[in-house]
Structure 1
């Protein structure tokens, strides 16, 4: 840090087991990736190349090297995994991971119907090759998964070999964990946390209000994902209580809320 401030929440340090920030690269150029890591490398734990953008990204190996040289792991978005699975190309996907020297992979079923036992089998097989992140939740806003099933799916995927599970929200933060308006399904989150340790979950939370909500609930070291590159530094200030949204929170002071409507509805 550039200077000293007392009474800041303690942040975990890299390599972190929790307190993760997962940034989403939706098609940065090599120059943009270089600029990004020059300012944010200390605050980014892993980068996801969103959905299947890696398929059309030019100079992919060169961009991956930018992140690798900065000490930031990268993985392909789960939709790319699904694109291979629906075409019966799982072995090709495994070879792809080796070709690009990937150490992480995401297993998801947000866009396809995939038997859960089969999904867990993919997790187990891939966990012998790379570190697996598995995503739970649908990209279909009309598909509502009850809390007990979220818990069951998450636990089974952790048992199958996933290092962490990701709560689906898409890059817009308007499905899965959230309503179409971006409001947190707070009852769902609270129920998940009764069974799944918070450090094992990465909550996709691309919107600032969502990030604030999770930080106030779980503290500065909650795992958050789908963070836009330009929002990484702002997020770190929210984690540290150095932005208005959490400025008083970590000092044990809260403003009186004169607005009778809560920022997020309760299930």
Structure 2
């Protein structure tokens, strides 16, 4: 940090197991990635190339190389995995991970319906190859999953080999763990946290109010995802109580 302040919460050090900031890259250019990393690299733990944007991104290998040089891990969004899986191209997907030297992969079923046992088998197989992040929850706002079922799914995916679990919200922050308005489904979160350690979950929280809510609930080192590149520095100030939303939180 640039100067000394008292009563600032401790932040875990990179590489982090908790306090992770997962950034959503929805199509940054090479120059934008360089500019982004020049200011946000210390506070960025992992980058997701959103949904299947990697399929159409120009200069993909060069872009991945820039992230790799900055020691910021990158992975392809879960929708790309789903696109391969639904076409019976799982082995092709595994070869793609090797081709692009990826160390992480996301397994999700937010856009397709597959038996959960099969999803867990995908997780198990990929965990032998890369570090797996699996996503729980649906992108369909009409599909409501009961809290006990969230817990069952999460526990099974941890057992199958997931390193972290993403709690689904989409890039809009209006499904899954949120209501259509963006309000947190507090009862759902409370239930999940009775059984699943918060350190194992990356809560997708693209909206500032959502970030504030989780930081006030679980502290500076809660894992948050789907953060826009321009919001990484603002998020870090929220974590540290240096923005109005959490300014007094650590002064009590």
**Do the two structures share a fold, i.e. TM-score over 0.5?**
yes
**Structure 1 stretches of at least 4 aligned residues deviating more than 4 Å after TM superposition:** none
Root-mean-square deviation over aligned CA pairs: 0.3
2:182 aligned counterpart, secondary structure? coil
Is it true that 1:66 corresponds to 2:66 in the alignment?
A: yes
Q: Which residue is 2:214 aligned to?
A: 214
1:78-118 CA-partner distances (Å, limit 9, x unpaired): 00000000100000000000000000000000000010000
Q: Give the alignment's TM-score, normalised by structure 2.
A: 1.00
Name the CA distance, whole Å, in 1 between partners of 2:209 and 2:66.
Answer: 31
Q: Alignment partner of 1:245: what SS?
A: helix
Matches within 5 A, 1:12-51: 12-51=12-51
Distance, in Å, in 2 between the alignment partners of 1:215 and 1:86 is 37
Partner SS, residue 7 of structure 2: coil
Structure 2: unaligned runs, 5 residues or longer: none
1:100 aligned to 2:100? yes
| Number of matched pairs | 252
Aligned ranges 1:172-251 → 2 under 5 Å? 172-251=172-251
* Distance in structure 1 (CA, Å) of the matches to 2:178 and 2:222: 17
Aligned counterpart, 1:83: 83
C-alpha displacement of 1:180: 0.6
1:8 paired residue number:
8
Specify every segment of 5 or more residues in structure 1 that has no aligned partner in the other structure, as ranges. 253-267
Separation in 2 of the partners of 1:137 and 1:7? 37
Counterpart CA distance in 2 for 1:231 and 1:143 is: 29
Please list the CA deviations of residues 199-257 of structure 1 after superposition, one character each: whole Å capped at 9, or x if unmatched. 000000000000000000000000000000000000000000000000000111xxxxx
Aligned positions of 1:250-261 closer than 5 A: 250-252=250-252
Alignment partners' CA distance in 2, 1:152 and 1:180: 24
Q: Deviations over 1:147-182 (max 9, x none)?
A: 000000000000000001000000000000000100
CA deviation vs aligned residue, 1:48-97 (integer Å, no higher than 9, x gap): 00000000000000000111011100000000000000100000000000
Give the alignment of 1:119-198 within 5 angstroms. Answer: 119-198=119-198
SS of the residue aligned with 1:175? coil
1:265 aligned partner: none
